[in-house]
Amino acid sequence: MSRELWAAVESLATTWQSSEAVQRYTEVFRDPRQPLGHRLREIFAGAAEIQAQRLRAAHLLPVSSAYDAFVAEPGADQFLQRGDRLARAFLWTVEWWRSRLPGYPNLPTQQLVRDGPLTTREFTLRVPWLDELRRQRLQLRPRPLRSPTCSISHHTCSTRRRVRSGPHWNGAHKSGR
């Protein structure tokens, strides 16, 4: 992959990180005075993998043995709802990017077989390839669905234009990869 591609992806990640929706959600992680922060630190102490994927934390937290104590905390429900919306927006954005791949949604690869390691509905730390998202015909959409902020959707499109104009995309696309 080229330097331009990674710069574009990093720029998109920075846009997500600085969005108001993500900032409100991650305040619990950053501010030690947040009441839920203590419970989250307990969970993360035993499951650092979840901490590494904060945008998907609301989907991953239920596997923790400390989850029941966490949901009993004031504000946990609102935090989990906000986290669920962000996780879904993140998964839809990733899937929209995947839909730009030639051959999508029927990519001929053994890793994407039903109930395989990347398509499982079971717990996984990987960003899953969900059948229900692949059936949404995202390859026909010129831009992703609205993300937590309009700037993310707009930035995703401008990043895609930069990526597709580079030699790394043109070479792979022309060769059928």
Q: List, for residues 10-19, the tens digit of each pLDDT value.
A: 787 888 888 8
The pLDDT assigned to 79 comes to: 93
In whole angstroms, give the CA distance from residue 57 to residue 48: 11
Rounded to 5°, the CA angle 19-21-27 comes to 95
Is 134:109 a contact under the CB 8 Å cutoff? no
Helix (H) / strand (E) element for 177: namely: none
- In the predicted model, residues of the chain with pLDDT beneath 50 are 1, 148-151, 168-177
Q: How far is C-alpha 155 from the geometric centre of its chain's CA atoms? A: 15
Mean pLDDT across the chain: 79
The pLDDT assigned to 118 comes to: 85
The pLDDT assigned to 175 comes to: 45
